[in-house]
Amino acid sequence: MTVRKAVRRGETRLVIDICYQKKDGSQGRYRKDAQVQTMAAARSEERRLMAFIAQHGEPFEPSAIEATDDADISPEAQKAFAEIVSEYRATFMITDLKVTTRRGYDSVLDSTLLPRFGELPLAKVDGAAAAALDLDLSKRELSRSSRNNTQIVLRSVLRFAASRGYIGARPANLPRLKPIGQTVLEIPSDEEVQKVLDAAREAHRRSFALMAYAGLRPNEVRALRRRDVRLRLEKGEAIGGFVSIREGRSHGQIHTPKTGQREIPIVPPLARLLAPVEQGPRDGHVALNEHGKPWGQFGLDQAFSRVRRRAGLEGWSVYCLRHYAITLWLRRGVPVHVVQRMAGHKHLATTQRYVHHLKQDLEEAARRLAETSAW
């Protein structure tokens, strides 16, 4: 049996294990996790590999084994792709990639690139091999964004190999990234946000308000400390101030914010919720869960889903609160370049998507005014 089950780190995996005879008469063995972890898909992949062996003497796409005589490959370029990936993970991924990006890259490497190219010499992971992979992913009906993510990780590994001198340069004929249409922004109304805040437990309300009124990302909410909040008081009541975004926390690790540090004005409703922050240690977390602990990686999203259901709302994710904050700033007349800085957008075009949504609101308002019988 060439498809078998194996338990690795407590997880059951489908493994394709094929012993075969190479063209030169020597024995070869192909042993990799199935690219898609269902028995039907693993059997299909097994049949494809067996067909390659019968036709070419190797369980690889013809484009991945042709073109280059090993004698013409430099010793560095003869290193296996998996060896380069190990070095890439131990160096570049740690020093140059954020925590969340590393996890995404690890997933692509383990699920797709290493099973496909792991044993190949680096020099044979070229444009033709990348194109064949993209075609295969397309036949499996993966989305354009998933196919792009795979190619982006492959490009990064090959760029790393070129920087180390293992290959002369990254292959120039890699597949182009596919155009991806922008997703439609989901922005709740003032009434819907108020319903969420009213339905939230007191322990959760401050966390949601930081997103709805200050536009924080979930990882920034998880990392926010009391020292980052500076309230302005008037007659003993908190009426404003500033919150400094200095770091984020993802998967238990602290990192710099996505687009660097920034400051955001605190509006009066948020100031009132943050007033208790004046008490307690400066290093204490501002946003806590119902157990008085800092939020875990998915806690905010799960808590929001429960609150949203209690409020009788459907379809929103916790990230919609941040969308609401950005739109709110624009509605209040804050210049778009200032909103860009407050939101932590790297590109002004990202902020302008919200301007487009605002124009739709204004057009709807104009339509309603035109239909008013009082005129």
Q: Are 110 and 206 within one domain?
A: no
Q: What is the DSSP letter of 109?
A: I
Which residues fall within 8 angstroms of residue 257, CB to CB, at 6 or more apart? 217, 220, 245, 246, 247, 248, 344
CA gap 192, 20 in Å, rounded: 63
State phi, psi for 237 to the nearest 5 degrees.
-110, 135
Residue 191 lies in a domain: no
Q: Are 228 and 143 within one domain?
A: no
Q: Are 211 and 122 within one domain?
A: no
What is the enclosing helix (H) or strand (E) of 237?
Answer: strand 237-245
Residue 174 lies in a domain: no
pLDDT digits (tens, 9 = 90+) for 342-373: 999 999 988 988 887 776 666 666 666 666 55
Q: Are 150 and 82 within one domain?
A: yes
Q: Are 155 and 223 within one domain?
A: no
CA gap 322, 219 in Å, rounded: 12
Residue 230 lies in a domain: yes
What is the enclosing helix (H) or strand (E) of 245?
Answer: strand 237-245
Please give the residue range of the domain that contains residue 32: 3-163
Q: Within its chain, how far is the Cα of 215 from the centroid? A: 18
Go through the chain and tell me how many residues it has: 375
Residue 185 lies in a domain: no
Residue 182 lies in a domain: no
Q: Are 343 and 232 within one domain?
A: yes
Q: Are 224 and 347 within one domain?
A: yes
Q: Which pLDDT score is estimated for 44? A: 76
Q: Which pLDDT score is estimated for 171? A: 81
Q: Are 147 and 8 within one domain?
A: yes
Q: Are 148 and 232 within one domain?
A: no
CA gap 41, 38 in Å, rounded: 5
pTM here is 0.69
Per-residue pLDDT of the chain (375 residues; tens, 9 = 90+): 588 888 866 678 888 888 888 877 788 888 888 777 778 777 877 887 887 788 777 776 554 444 444 444 556 667 889 999 999 999 999 998 988 899 999 999 999 999 999 989 988 899 999 999 999 999 999 999 999 999 999 999 999 999 988 888 778 788 988 887 667 788 899 999 999 999 999 889 999 999 999 999 999 999 999 999 999 999 889 999 999 999 999 988 898 888 889 999 999 999 999 998 877 788 999 999 988 899 998 999 999 999 999 999 988 899 999 999 999 999 988 999 999 999 999 999 889 888 877 766 666 666 666 665 554
Q: In sequence order, what DSSP letters do the residues of 294-311 get, joined into one string? A: B--TTHHHHHHHHHHHHT
Q: What is the CATH number of the domain that holds 320?
A: 1.10.443.10
Q: Are 221 and 359 within one domain?
A: yes
Decide which of 163, 181, 213 is a domain's last residue: 163
Classify burial at 307, counting beta carbons within 10 Å of its beta carbon; exposed 0-12, middle 13-18, buried 19 or more: buried
CB atoms within 10 A of CB 227: 14
Are residues 321 and 308 in contact, defined by beta-carbon separation less than 8 angstroms? Answer: no
Residue 189 lies in a domain: no
Q: Are 233 and 102 within one domain?
A: no
Residue 96 lies in a domain: yes
Decide which of 163, 186, 216 is a domain's last residue: 163
Q: What is the DSSP letter of 89?
A: H
For the packed helices 336-343 and 348-371, what is the interaxial angle rounded to 10 degrees?
A: 120
Number of separate domains in the chain: 2
Q: Within its chain, how far is the Cα of 129 from the centroid? A: 26
Q: Are 149 and 220 within one domain?
A: no
CB half-sphere exposure, 345, CA atoms < 13 A? 19
Which residue, among 249, 187, 193, 172, has the nearest Cα to 217 in the 3D structure?
249
